[in-house]
Amino acid sequence: MLFRNFVIFIAVVVSGIFSQEIFEDLKHEECLLDIDLIILLDGSHSVKLSNFNIVKEWVKQLAAGMHIGHGHIQIGVVQYSHWYHNRPLNNQRYIKTEIELGEHMNKDDFDRAVDRIKYQGFKTYTAHAINKTLEFDFLGPKNRYPDAKRALILLTDGKATDSSYLPDVIQHAERDRGVIIYAVGVGDFDSSELQLITHHHENREFELENFEDLDSIVNSLQFQLATACDCDLEGSITEDCNPCSGECT
C-alpha cells in the first residue's frame, strides 16, 4: 500500500512537470486551445468499486494538467452503465451527468465533485451514453462550440451492450456535433470497437491491461488534447500543427 502510494506520488509529480512544460512551451496563453471536454466513465459491474476509485483518481490527475482555472479547458463528467429503453435520454438514471460541462472552474471544487461520484455497477450501454453526451452534455449552458473544440474521452472495460447503435452514434458525433473522440480500453475491451469509436485514429486509442496503468497515459492524453488542431478535419491530432495559428506546417 505504501509503495503504491509512493508510485502514484511519483507519477503525479512527473506528470505535473510534464504538463506544465506543455503549457509553458506554448508560452502564450492565447495560443492554448479552448476545449469543451466530456469524460465518459464506464460504471458497469465488471469495473468493480476498487477500480472505479482508481478511475476517479485518474480523472483528477487528468484535470490537474489541464489547468481548468485558466478557463481554456472546461470539463464535464458522465458515468454510464444501464439504459432504460422506455425512457427518454435525458431521463436516464444510469447515464448520469456527474459534473456538468464547465460546472467547476476551480480545481478543488472539481476534485470534490469527482470524489462524490457513486459507482453504479450495471451494464455497458456505451452507444446510448455517447448519444446522451451529444444530445445534452455538450449542449449545456456553458458550451462554447464552435469557438471551443469538442472532445470526448471514453473509458470502458468491456464490449458495448448496445454495439449495433455505435456506427450511427459515432457518425452523429463527428458529422453533426464536431466531437473528437478518444477511447481508453482497459482489460476486457474490444479492440475493433475502439477502432470504430475513434474512427481508426490510432493516436486517439489507448489499450491498457489494467486500471493501474491509467497513470501511464495521462501525459499523452493531455498532450494530444492541448495540441488539437484544425488542420486535420477528421479531427486527428498531429504534430504538424501550429498551436497558435491552428494551421498545418
What residues make contact with ligand NAG under the rule CB under 6 A?
89, 131, 135, 165, 168-169
Bridge partners for 80 per DSSP: 42, 95
Pick from 222, 225, 228, 223: nearest CA to 243: 228
Least distance in Å: CB of 42 to ligand NAG?
Answer: 18
Which residues does 117 contact at the CB level (< 8 Å), separation at least 6?
41, 56, 77, 79, 98
Nearer to ligand NAG, 22 or 166 (CB): 166
Least distance in Å: CB of 231 to ligand NAG?
Answer: 30
Residue nearest to ligand NAG (CB): 131
Which residues does 246 contact at the CB level (< 8 Å), separation at least 6?
33, 229, 230, 231
Pick from 51, 35, 36: nearest CA to 209: 51
Least distance in Å: CB of 89 to ligand NAG?
Answer: 4
Name the helix (H) or strand (E) containing 35: strand 35-42
Least distance in Å: CB of 125 to ligand NAG?
Answer: 10
Least distance in Å: CB of 181 to ligand NAG?
Answer: 15
The terminus-to-terminus CA distance of the chain in angstroms comes to 47
Place of cell 453533426: 176
CA distance 199 to 130: 14
Nearer to ligand NAG, 143 or 224 (CB): 143
Least distance in Å: CB of 178 to ligand NAG?
Answer: 16
CA distance 233 to 151: 14
Nearer to ligand NAG, 94 or 119 (CB): 94
Nearer to ligand NAG, 14 or 139 (CB): 139
CA distance 82 to 119: 12
Nearer to ligand NAG, 25 or 168 (CB): 168
Nearer to ligand NAG, 165 or 223 (CB): 165
Helix ranges restricted to H, the chain:
2-26, 49-64, 107-115, 126-135, 166-171, 177, 191-197, 218-226
Nearer to ligand NAG, 89 or 105 (CB): 89
Least distance in Å: CB of 164 to ligand NAG?
Answer: 9
